[in-house]
Structure 1
């Protein structure tokens, strides 16, 4: 019956956000439709975590942009081990180490781009190639690229040994982020100056939630291009490099309480 659900006045705000607000109630419980939607979103998030990367499709999409690729693997042999042993996802397996050792490092390379499945292979399959295309469009021609490393079962820090082996000044890691209940395909970007094993998280910059419903790839590419330029000029990344690519709100502008409509 239509009167079985008590509407919530906040429901009008749902047009502005995918957050679960203003769902109403049925008695003391959540209505059936929002409950089913929650279960679907939870299942989609779980599927994204366990999904295997379609390496062939990602590799073909990146090669179509005119970039050579390297197929690498972390020390986590499979998804089950990867989820239980984060430390193994930060290291390369012996085959990949040998492959990189046989590759001549390019001391002139500015960027070692690493594409890793992370906790959402779906994010990489959907957004990695379109983002790289945007980044190539906005970066000036004086940037030299090492081959793009596509890594299965990888964590963020795996970009450090890869960037070091390729002789690049900067490692840029595109990785699937931990899925949320409204974002199973969110991609993160991590930038590290002078990559080498043992770098700390505080020595990286991060751009998060890259996807059409979050930070669109074109906007993320512009922000990354700014960070790369500053990193190369200042020879650092991390907590000492603040993202000022978007002008700050003027300090003199009074804050307004959206509920009361007053400062």
Structure 2
């Protein structure tokens, strides 16, 4: 793994020297834009509209447009000085993981002890494991300040960068949300039954990227010179009756016995003979 950051975790006066590694990798299939006329890959060129020429990276500064057409400029050294001010993952608080909504999580990193930090690393990891708490920290990575959640995963300290609260858009901005949601009791019961039927322990290894597999198969076909046949688009099912959709979904999964009061009406049975019913009590 490639080290992306070096520094230390600090909590109180304790410093744990660590190295940071990216925990995830992008599996997207990379494709280039090609000029159809000649088959040449296209390049992205940084062009100055005023000078009408390509610009090299060493001639570029960062700028903030504080009003239309007017910028304040920052050199690379000025921007780097802000992130270099602290090579520290400073834990501010310890909280329960269940208190953090998943909307806050961004990217995951593995933290490994530096050559001199094994003992302190093990101490922090075991203390967090036994307490059941995770740390909320501040960190600067690649010129960006971020909050982070520090937790233990399979014998490794893991850091999840998380959004600041003002980076989360308010739910009230979402259009067309029902103000006073009302649901049918029978439909609700069936929906809960369907959820129960589909409930299972989370096993990430059983999920796969079907789209990526299809793209790779298509690439292999084209490399082999095979003719590609495009499957016609299937019309979407137009299910209007919500109860019918729920019933069909339940039938498509394992059968479940409905409660007596919610079960479908039974077919009428043939009347028993009077002789058999003689002597039977009647209920009210």
Whether the TM-score (by the shorter chain) exceeds 0.5 is: no
Q: Which has the larger radius of gyration?
A: 2
**TM-score normalised by structure 1 residue count:** 0.26
Q: TM-score, normalised by structure 2?
A: 0.25
Q: Of Structure 1 and Structure 2, which has the larger fraction of its residues in helix?
A: 1
User: More strand per residue: 1 or 2?
Assistant: 2
Could you say which structure has the greater relative contact order, defined with CA pairs below 8 angstroms and 6 or more residues apart? 1
